[in-house]
């Protein structure tokens, strides 16, 4: 049985160096707890002393219990000229009271002379002096050899001598960093093998960046060559192009290379972990992200769809459930009728592939996709469309008109108001509401107008509202697509609207969200109805 691999997560430190990635101290703590639960071995929390947010995190972490993970504080070797025991940076590392410290030092002579302005020997002394100090304070020391690969290619002997200095001062693991992310995979393989020979039995680790789109491959190559400690971030967040993406590294190691990283039952939480972190980072999850992306097991081409229905192994490299993902079949103009039929059956419709209806619907879908509609995330709108085209759409209300007014005065105060007129069973209802903005006001007015007829409407709420500008080049006259997720009782459904007018697009998505809800309420109370719940 090969050695298990120790996973070192740096989402909270290197991850936050990514453009648009930012976490509050509370976010950081929530993520750390989640990573611990997932089975990560080391969680690097930040650089104490570099900013108040990181300080606050370490303060909070002191009173928390972590089951698997060791919290790690990150910092640089002692500054030249300082005594290690008096160096403010080392003191901050010690004061963070973490069981482990990751300490970075220079490998590359270019940096030793240009960035630090010291001699090669002085650099070796800084490395060993700093590590010895931390060891005296009983820290586990993870030594990050910055720019290791560039330094090694420039001067292999000196690069190795920095590792030997770290090892001899007591470092527990020697991490080879591809700081600039430009090293090729076959170079990583060769250099890790050579380093393994040079440093003896001390554990070697890898820290890769994705500037050449090779961070995952380089991490695996290092493990293949003998590394036992892998650093990376959730979703690959990180400076520039990001760090090695743990959401790909972990399943590759565990499912394909037989190197265990986290408890097996946790691996099936991988997609949830990925989405949890992207949510706290307030970044949209990347659909085509390997393993955990929404498209990772999505089939669009007709050939693939019909084959994968017969045997999943034909077009899927792992079972999606192993990482908590699932298969999706997409409806689009590229897809044949077999996708439409699969999709419709999923929703409880039965119509055969050769029917008139099916051709008509495929045609209509093509027209609407051309206008900018997408039903991939709006299955409720798709279902309503199919019902409408097959004459099975119920009418719960008819819109007689609405008006939205938004005013702003010279003091910057603004108000939004909507009035709406709907007809339900020949009864006219006019209502008005205010809101934070025009769409919010319209939503409130619609609910108010309907609640007399459909009091159950108070049981549904809007969960998510997204706006996408379709043809951005047309400025404010551009067409927009609005996606709305509505929810009730833990179930959620998506609707879509497209228009040059954001209020019109929002109206379509809003009203369809309500219609879909009412339709499913009705079904629940009349079990014999021809269409079935999703």
Residues 258-287 interacting with its own copies (rule: CB under 8 A): 279, 282, 286-287
- CA dist., res. 271 & res. 323, Å (int): 6
Site stretch for its own copies (CB under 8 A), options 162-170, 191-199, 233-241, 344-352: 233-241
- CA dist., res. 31 & res. 146, Å (int): 26
Gyration radius of the chain over CA positions: 29
- CA dist., res. 198 & res. 188, Å (int): 15
Q: For 385, list phi and psi in degrees, rounded to 5.
A: -60, -45
**19 near its own copies, rule: CB under 8 A:** yes
Q: How far is the CB of 522 from its own copies (least distance, A)?
A: 23
145: left (phi over 0), alpha (psi -120 to 50) or beta: beta
Site stretch for its own copies (CB under 8 A), options 33-41, 118-126, 193-201, 306-314: 306-314
- CA dist., res. 198 & res. 531, Å (int): 70
| DSSP-assigned letter for residue 207 | E
Tokens (6 digits) for 9: 């997560």
* Chain residues 82-121 in contact with its own copies, contact rule CB under 8 A: 110-111, 114-115
Q: How far is the CB of 349 from its own copies (least distance, A)?
A: 23
Handedness of CA 367, 373, 374, 380 (dihedral sign): negative
Which residues does residue 6 pair with via DSSP β-bridges, in sequence order? Answer: 229
**502 near its own copies, rule: CB under 8 A:** yes
**181 near its own copies, rule: CB under 8 A:** yes
Q: Among 9, 14, 73, which residue's Cα sits nearest to residue 240?
A: 14
Tokens (6 digits) for 476: 């404010």
* Chain residues 317-356 in contact with its own copies, contact rule CB under 8 A: 317-318, 330, 332-334
**500 near its own copies, rule: CB under 8 A:** yes
Tokens (6 digits) for 437: 């903005």
Question: Which residue lies nearer to its own copies by CB, 436 or 532?
Answer: 436
* Chain residues 183-202 in contact with its own copies, contact rule CB under 8 A: 184-186
Question: Which residue lies nearer to its own copies by CB, 172 or 379?
Answer: 379
**480 near its own copies, rule: CB under 8 A:** yes
Question: Which residue lies nearer to its own copies by CB, 36 or 144?
Answer: 144
Question: Which residue lies nearer to its own copies by CB, 210 or 523?
Answer: 210
Q: How far is the CB of 393 from its own copies (least distance, A)?
A: 16
**401 near its own copies, rule: CB under 8 A:** yes
**510 near its own copies, rule: CB under 8 A:** yes
* Chain residues 430-469 in contact with its own copies, contact rule CB under 8 A: 435-440, 442-443, 461-469
Q: How many CB atoms lie within 10 A of CB 407?
A: 9
């Amino acid at each position: 049985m090969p050695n298990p691999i120790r996973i070192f997560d740096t989402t909270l430190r290197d991850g936050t160096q990514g453009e648009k990635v930012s976490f509050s101290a509370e976010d950081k703590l929530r993520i750390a707890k989640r990573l611990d639960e997932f089975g990560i071995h080391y969680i690097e929390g930040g650089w104490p002393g570099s900013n108040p947010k990181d300080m606050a995190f370490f303060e909070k972490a002191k009173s928390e219990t972590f089951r698997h993970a060791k919290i790690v504080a990150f910092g640089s070797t002692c500054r030249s000229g300082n005594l290690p025991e008096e160096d403010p940076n080392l003191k901050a590392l010690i004061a963070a009271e973490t069981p482990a410290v990751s300490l970075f030092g220079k490998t590359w002579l270019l940096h030793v002379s240009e960035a630090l302005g010291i001699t090669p020997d002085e650099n070796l002394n800084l490395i060993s002096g700093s590590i010895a100090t931390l060891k005296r304070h009983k820290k586990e020391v993870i030594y990050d050899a910055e720019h290791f690969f560039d330094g090694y290619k420039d001067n292999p002997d000196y690069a190795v001598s920095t590792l030997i200095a770290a090892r001899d001062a007591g470092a527990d693991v020697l991490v080879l960093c591809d700081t600039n992310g430009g090293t090729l995979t076959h170079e990583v393989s060769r250099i890790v093998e050579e380093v393994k020979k040079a440093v003896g039995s001390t554990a070697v680790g890898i820290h890769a960046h994705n500037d050449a789109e090779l961070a995952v491959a380089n991490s695996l190559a290092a493990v293949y060559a003998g590394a036992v400690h892998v650093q990376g971030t959730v979703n690959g967040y990180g400076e520039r192009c990001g760090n090695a993406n743990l959401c790909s590294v972990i399943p590759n190691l565990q499912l394909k290379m037989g190197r265990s990283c986290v408890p097996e039952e946790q691996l099936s939480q991988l997609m949830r972990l990925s989405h949890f972190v992207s949510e706290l980072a307030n970044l949209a999850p990347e659909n085509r992200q390997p393993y955990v992306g929404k498209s990772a097991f999505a089939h669009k081409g007709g050939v693939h769809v019909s084959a994968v229905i017969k045997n999943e192994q034909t077009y899927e490299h792992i079972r999606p459930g192993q990482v908590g993902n699932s298969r999706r079949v997409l409806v689009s103009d590229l897809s044949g009728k077999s996708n439409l039929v699969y999709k419709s059956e999923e929703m409880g419709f039965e119509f055969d592939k050769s029917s008139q209806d099916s051709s008509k619907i495929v045609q209509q879908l093509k027209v609407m996709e051309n206008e900018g509609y997408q039903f991939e995330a709006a299955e409720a709108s798709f279902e309503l469309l199919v019902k409408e085209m097959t004459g099975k759409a119920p009418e719960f209300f008819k819109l007689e008109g609405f008006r939205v007014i938004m005013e702003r005065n010279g003091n910057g105060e603004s108000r939004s108001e909507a009035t709406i007129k709907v007809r339900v069973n020949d009864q006219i209802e006019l209502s008005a509401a205010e809101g934070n903005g025009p769409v919010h006001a319209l939503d409130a007015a619609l609910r108010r107008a309907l609640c007399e007829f459909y009091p159950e409407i108070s049981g549904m709420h809007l969960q998510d509202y997204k706006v996408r500008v379709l043809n951005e080049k047309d400025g404010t006259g551009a067409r927009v697509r609005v996606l709305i997720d509505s929810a009730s009782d833990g179930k959620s459904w998506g609707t879509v609207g497209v228009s040059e007018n954001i209020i019109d697009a929002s109206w379509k998505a809003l009203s369809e969200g309500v219609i879909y809800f009412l339709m499913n309420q009705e079904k629940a109370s009349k079990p014999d109805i021809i269409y079935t719940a999703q």
